[in-house]
Amino acid sequence: MQNTFGNIFKVTTFGESHGRALGCVIDGCPAGLDLCIEDIEKELARRRPGKEHGSRDEKDMPEILSGIYEGKTLGTPIGIVVYNTNQESKDYNDLKDVYRPGHADYSWDAKFGIRDHRGGGRSSGRETLSRVAAGAVAKKILSLHKMEITTMFDAPNIEKLREEKDSAGGIITCRVTGVPAGLGEPVFDKLDARLAGAIVSIGACKGIEFGAGFASAQSKGSENNDRPKEFPNGFEFETNNAGGILGGISTGQEIIFRAAFKPTPSIGKKQRAFAKDGSVKEMEIKGRHDYCIVPRAAIVVEAMTALVLADFLLLSRLTRI
246-269: burial string, b at 16+ Cβ within 10 Å, e else? bebbbbbbebbbbbbbbbbbbbbe
pLDDT for 148: 98
Burial label for 127, CB within 10 Å (0-12, 13-18, 19+), is: buried
Contact yes or no for 127/22 (Cβ under 8 A): yes
| pTM score | 0.92
Separation of alpha carbons 210 and 200, rounded Å = 13
**For residue 23, what are the β-bridge partners?**
14, 81
Using CA atoms, how far residue 168 sits from 45, 78, 164, 270, 292, in Å, is 23, 36, 11, 16, 5
pLDDT for 17: 85
pLDDT for 199: 98
pLDDT for 51: 53
pLDDT for 57: 66
Q: What is the pLDDT along the chain (321 residues), one digit of tens a residue?
A: 689 999 999 999 999 988 899 999 999 999 999 999 999 999 999 998 765 555 656 788 999 999 999 999 999 999 999 998 876 667 677 778 888 888 888 888 889 998 888 777 788 888 999 999 999 999 999 999 999 999 999 888 888 998 998 999 999 999 999 999 999 998 999 999 999 999 999 999 999 999 999 999 999 999 999 998 887 677 888 999 999 999 999 999 999 999 999 998 888 889 899 998 899 988 887 767 788 999 999 999 999 999 999 999 999 876 554
